[in-house]
Amino acid sequence: MAQVNLALGAMYFGTRLDERTSFELLDRFVAEGGTIIDTANCYSFWADPSGFGGQSEEVIGRWLARRPGLRDKLYISTKVGAEPGGDGEWPANREGLSGPAIKAALEGSMRRLGTDRVDLYWTHMEDRSAQLEDTAGALAELVEAGLVGRLGASNHPIWRVERARRIAESNGWEGYTALQLRHSYVKPRPDAPVPDQNHRFGWVGEEVLDYVASDPRMALWAYTTLLNGAYVREDRPLIEAYDHPGTTRRLAVLAEVAAELGITRNQVVLAWLTGGNPSVTPIVGVSDAGQLDEAVAGVALTLPSEQRRRLDETA
C-alpha cells in the first residue's frame, strides 16, 4: 500500500484517549498506509492530573514494544521545549531549549518511546533565554550521534529560524529543515485573539509559504488543519476570531467543491493542503476509526484544476 502524506497526531494518546483506543487507531493508521506519527514530550500535561507530559510517548512506546519490527517502517516525530520543568506556572516554567535541556529531553523521549532514534526532532517553542548557538549546537550533536535524523522548528518566527540555520551552516552543523505551524483553509482576522493559542508565531502566512517554496530542503507540517471539527460539525462552530467576510466566502466555495466532488469538507481541506505549492503535511488528531478513514482518503485526493483554482482565488 502506498504511503500517505499524513501525520497522525498523537497529542491525546494516554490522556483523553485510553490505551486501547490509541492502539486501535495506530494499528488502523499503519494498515491504511500511514507511517508518520507526531507527538511531543509535553503531551499532554494539561490533560493529566500530574501536570506533566509524556503520556503520549509512553503509549506509543508500549504499542511499538508489542509489534516487533514495526519501528523501522515508521517515521516518528517528537518535540522538546514546552514540557513543564518544575515549580511556577506554564509557560514560564517550561524546560526551554538550552543544550542540557535538549539532550535530557531527548533521552527521556527515547526511553518512553522505546527507540534508539527520533526521525524528526522539533524545538517546540522558541526560548530567547537560550543562546541560538547553544540550541543549534546541541541539536547538531544529536544528529551527529545518530540519535536524530532531521531537525524542525515549531512555532518560531521565521527570522529566528533563518538565523539558527545560518549559525548551523557557518559551523558545518545540521540545521533546521522543517517547520510546524498552525494552518488551515480559513484563517482568523489578523491580530484577532485566539483562545488557547499559546504560540505568538505559530501561524502559516504568506511569508512562511514563500520561505518554504523557495527552499527545496524545507518541509512544512501543519497542525489544527481541520479546526477541531468546525468544517463538518454544527456543534463545533468557529470561534469569533474567524468571523469576517473572507471566512464566509471561503466556507461557501469549500461547500460547493465538496458537493461537486462528493466528498467531505474536511477532505477538500486536506487535499488542498497536500496539493499546494508548497505541499503541506497535515497533522490530524482523530478519536475514532471514521475520522481516521476520512483523513487518509482526503490526503490521497488530487483536486481537479478548476476546483483548485476557485479555492485558491477565493479570499
Task: Tell me the C-alpha distance between 34 and 70, whole Å.
Answer: 12
In this prediction, residue 199 carries a pLDDT of 87
What does the pLDDT read at residue 185? 98
Question: CA angle 60-126-285, nearest 5°?
Answer: 35
Beta-sheet strands, E only, within 113-255: 118-123, 148-154, 176-182, 219-223
Cα–Cα distance, 299 to 270 (Å, whole number):
5
**Residue 2 confidence (pLDDT):** 62
Q: How confident is the model at residue 1 (pLDDT cuts 50, 70, 90)?
A: low
pLDDT of residue 87: 84
Contact 269, 261 (CB under 8 A): no
pLDDT of the residue at 198: 78
- What per-residue confidence (pLDDT) applies to 119? 98
Residue with cell 531537525: 151
Mean of pLDDT values over 66-91: 95
Confidence of residue 195 (pLDDT cuts 50, 70, 90): confident
Dist. CA 169–CA 172, nearest whole Å: 5
All domains of the chain in start order, with CATH: 7-313 (3.20.20.100)
In terms of Cα–Cα distance, which of 4, 56, 51 is closest to 30? Answer: 4
Cell of 56: 503520549
pLDDT above 70 as % of the chain: 99
Tell whether the model's pLDDT for residue 191 goes beyond 90. Answer: no
Kindly indicate the confidence band of residue 205, based on its pLDDT and cuts at 50, 70 and 90: very high
C-alpha gyration radius of the chain: 19
Find, among 113, 212, 198, 102, the residue nearest to 155 by Cα.
Answer: 198
Q: Nearest 5 degrees, angle CA 51-CA 226-CA 1?
A: 100
Higher pLDDT, 16 or 200: 16
